[in-house]
Amino acid sequence: MRSLRNTFLVPALLLALASGCAKTKAYQDRNMDFGAIKTVVVMPFWNLSANQQAADRVRDVFANALLATQAVYVVPTGEVARAASRLGLATPATPSTEEVVKIAAMLKADAVITGVVKEYGEVRTSAAASNVVSVSLQMQEAGTGKVIWSGSSTKGGVTWGARLLGTGGGEPMNSVTEQAVDDLLQQLFQ
Amino acid sequence: MTSSSSSSSSARAIALVGALALAGCSAARPPPERAAPPRMALFPVQNLTGGRAPVKELTAALRAQLLTYGVVLVPDELVMRTLAAHRIRFTGGVDRETAAALREEAGAEGVIIPSLEIYQAVPPFRMAMTTRLVNIGAEPAIQWIDSFARSGVDSPGLLAMVVLQSMETLRDESLLNTAVRLAAALQDPRPSRPCPQWSEVPPNRVYRSPLLSDPSRRTVAVLPFLNGSGRRDAGEVMALRFLAPLVANGTVKVVEPGVVRDELLTHRIGAAGGISLDDARVVLELVRADLVLSGTVRRFEDAAGLSGAPSLEFGSWVLDRRTAQLVWSSTTSGAGDDGVYFFGLGRVTTASALACGMAKGAVSRMLEDRPLLTRN
């Protein structure tokens, strides 16, 4: 009986502990040579937040941060808009696999990044308020449209300290966005 | 006594001979010919405040100050008649057609273009304006540009005794400074600093291609920024605020925005969602520029009340004509009270002043290792 308890209880506790510690879940295709990716298209992000400009803001910060790494070249947003218009993409934020392949070929890119902004703005508890951003991204390979990387990040929110002391404000929205973008880039380049 | 009187008389004689010699020299030399001061056309103040502003009164006040400081202006009626004859309504820039009309019909050699960015006539009073002088030779070219952004509480002093009590004081002081600087620039052309060094704000994230260091890429066209903020005309204000540090930097030649605007309108370029590389290349060919600078303003908020601080957020990019690639991309965000801890020291009180510091920071980083342009 005692050995049976140890057999099930200890792994269950360890699993619970590990899942509690894990903040983000990223997927990376181990067979993909990420060093071969030189040019990337960042598509408009899908906006699920209440703020109408959230997707554009996060995309702007992400594209610039990706360029700033000097690891890849990001196609300018105007060029992406023109290509999406020429291809007649009804929903550029959620392209199909064929559309990803086509737009990558048109822009001579090696990969296409699509994303979803799930939360963007202020969250409130009874006594405290703070800014929060939640973003999920995925990268698709240009030739096949296969997903080769996927990651998500949530930053900001009301901390325990703020909850206890009832403070408001937190960090500015742009700082929180940059933190989330940094987290995503870390997942991408790890 | 004798020796002293003889020495004093000989000294007097030497001085007299010296004075006569000098007088003779000066009489022999022809009087220096002073070139006639150039005639300038003053455009009406362009309203970029996003609201109402007394532009007629401001134009009249600026005209009076410029005349006081010896700037020769083309009569207002003549400027207006010329603009009306050519159906020119836009007075925020000078294109080639406007330049030719003013040159030939009004006899102007340059155009003064004031653009009002902020005008808040209630306490705490605020005013911001960019003024540029455009030389209207064969190709309109920016000769001088200067801007100010002030509020009534910029220097409150001990116990707030130096807080400005009226908008007229702020307006008159600011326009006076502009007139003095412009008159000085006409006498001795030199670039003026757009805003104090301490107010420079570096960008948060930067991508800079080594191609930007190439001295052969020397001409920049600045397009109005896309406006994603709630504030009307924020894109134009941001582009104007980039002009001054670019000109002052002295390492690039900046195309007059009026010329760029004319080409954009003629070729119907500038759709929402950003300019494409094809469009950028067309613009660059038309205005004979190597680089095009633009961006997106995400937030442009002025301070609310006495204690509030302005906040700004924008991204800027530069496209290169030859490689058709992005050579610069940056994001900048901040507030007027960033880094202010003691007694409000270093607080920026207007969005335009903050934009100036941020634009200056971006331009400093963008053109950091370029050689100065040689005059040819």
Question: So what's the pLDDT on residue B188?
Answer: 81
Residues A156 and B17: their CA atoms lie apart, in Å, by 86
Task: Read off the pLDDT band of B211 (50, 70, 90).
Answer: very high
Structural domain ending residue among the three candidates B187, B206, B226: B187
Contacts of A63 in chain B (CB under 8 A): 329
Q: Are residues B267 and B361 in the same domain?
A: yes
Q: Are strands B291-301 and B226-227 parallel, antiparallel or unpaired?
A: parallel
Average pLDDT over residues B205-217: 93
Determine whether the interchain pair A70/B207 forms a contact, defined as Cβ–Cβ distance below 8 Å. yes
List, for residues B245-283, the tens digit of each pLDDT value: 999 999 999 999 999 999 888 887 765 555 666 777 788
How high is the pLDDT of residue A24?
Answer: 58
Residue B6 has pLDDT above 50, yes or no: no
In whole angstroms, give the CA distance from residue A132 to residue A117.
11
Residue A30 pLDDT greater than 80, yes or no: yes
SS3 A84: helix
Whether the CB-CB separation of B92 and B265 falls below 8 Å is answered with no
Contacts of A89 (CB under 8 A, 6+ apart): A95, A99, A103
- Check: CB of residue B312 under 8 Å from CB of residue A71: no
End position of a domain, from candidates B187, B207, B240:
B187
Map out the domains of chain A as residue ranges.
23-189
Cβ distance B152 to B126 under 8 Å? yes
CA pair distance B249, B242, nearest whole angstrom: 11
In angstroms, rounded to a whole number, what is the distance separating the alpha carbons of residues B248 and B254?
Answer: 10
Inter-chain contacts counted by CB atoms under 8 A, chains A and B: 68
Of B273, B326, B331, the CB nearest to A61: B331
* pLDDT value of position A6: 61
The predicted structure's pLDDT at residue B281 = 75
Specify the pLDDT at position A5. Answer: 58
Return the pLDDT at A161: 74
Res A9: pLDDT: 58
Nearest chain B residue to A173 by CA distance is: B333
Task: Tell me how many domains chain B contains.
Answer: 2
Q: Cβ–Cβ of B228/A53 closer than 8 Å?
A: yes
Average pLDDT, stretch B156-172?
Answer: 77
> Are residues B204 and B348 located together in one domain of the fold?
yes
The answer to whether residue A119 scores a pLDDT higher than 60 is yes
Say if the Cβ atoms of A172 and B333 lie within 8 Å: yes
Question: Is residue B345 in some structural domain?
Answer: yes
CB contact under 8 A, B207 and A76: no
Q: Is the CB of A60 less than 8 angstroms away from the CB of B296?
A: yes
Set of chain B residues whose Cβ sits within 8 Å of the Cβ of A73: 325-326
Chain B environment of A67 (Cβ under 8 Å): 207, 326, 329
Same domain, B204 and B176: no
Domain co-membership, B151 together with B99: yes
Whether residue B291 lies inside any domain: the answer is yes
Which range has the worst mean pLDDT, A19-28, A115-124, A138-147, B352-361?
A19-28
Task: Indicate yes or no: CB of A178 within 8 angstroms of CB of B204.
Answer: yes
- Average pLDDT (A85-103) is 94
Report which secondary-structure segment, H or E, holds A50.
none
pLDDT at B1 over 50: no
Among B331, B332, B338, B358, the strongest candidate for a mutation testing the A interface, having the largest count of A CBs within 10 A, is B331
Query: DSSP string of A123-137?
Result: EE-SS-EEEEEEEEE
Residues across chain B: 376
User: What confidence score (pLDDT) does residue B275 get?
Assistant: 64
Predicted local confidence at residue B3, as pLDDT: 42
Please confirm whether the linkage preceding B124 is cis (ω < 30° from 0).
yes
Query: Mutation test of the interface with chain A: which of B223, B276, B283, B291, choosing the one with the most A Cβ atoms within 10 A?
Result: B276
Answer whether A83's CB lies under 8 Å from A106's CB: yes
Residue A157 gets the label, from left (phi > 0), alpha (psi -120 to 50) or beta, of left
Structure confidence at residue B117 (pLDDT): 95
Decide if B217 contacts B290 (C-beta within 8 A): yes
Distances (CA, A) of A118 to A23, A93, A154, A173, B15: 16, 13, 9, 15, 90
Segment B228-241 mean pLDDT: 92
The mean per-residue pLDDT over the stretch B343-362 comes to 88
The pLDDT of residue B310 is: 92
pLDDT digits (tens, 9 = 90+) for B68-111: 999 999 999 999 999 999 999 999 999 999 999 999 999 999 99
Residues B304 and B324 in one domain: yes
**At which of B131, B163, B187 does a domain end?**
B187
Q: Which pLDDT band holds residue B33 (cuts at 50, 70, 90)?
A: low
Q: What are A's interface residues with B at a Cβ cutoff of 8 A?
A: 53, 56-57, 60-61, 63-65, 67-68, 70, 73-74, 76-79, 81-82, 172, 174-175, 178
Average pLDDT value for residue range B22-30 = 51
CATH number at residue B236: 3.40.50.10610
Whether residue B221 sits in one domain with residue B115 = no
As a CATH number, domain A23-189 is: 3.40.50.10610
Domain region containing B273: 198-366
Q: Do B175 and B265 lie in a common domain?
A: no
Q: What is the mean pLDDT of residues B354-362?
A: 95
Domain match, B169 and B224 both: no
Residues B254 and B305 in one domain: yes
Statement to judge: residues B220 and B152 lie in one domain: no
The shortest CB-CB distance from A81 to any of B276, B331, B333 is to B276
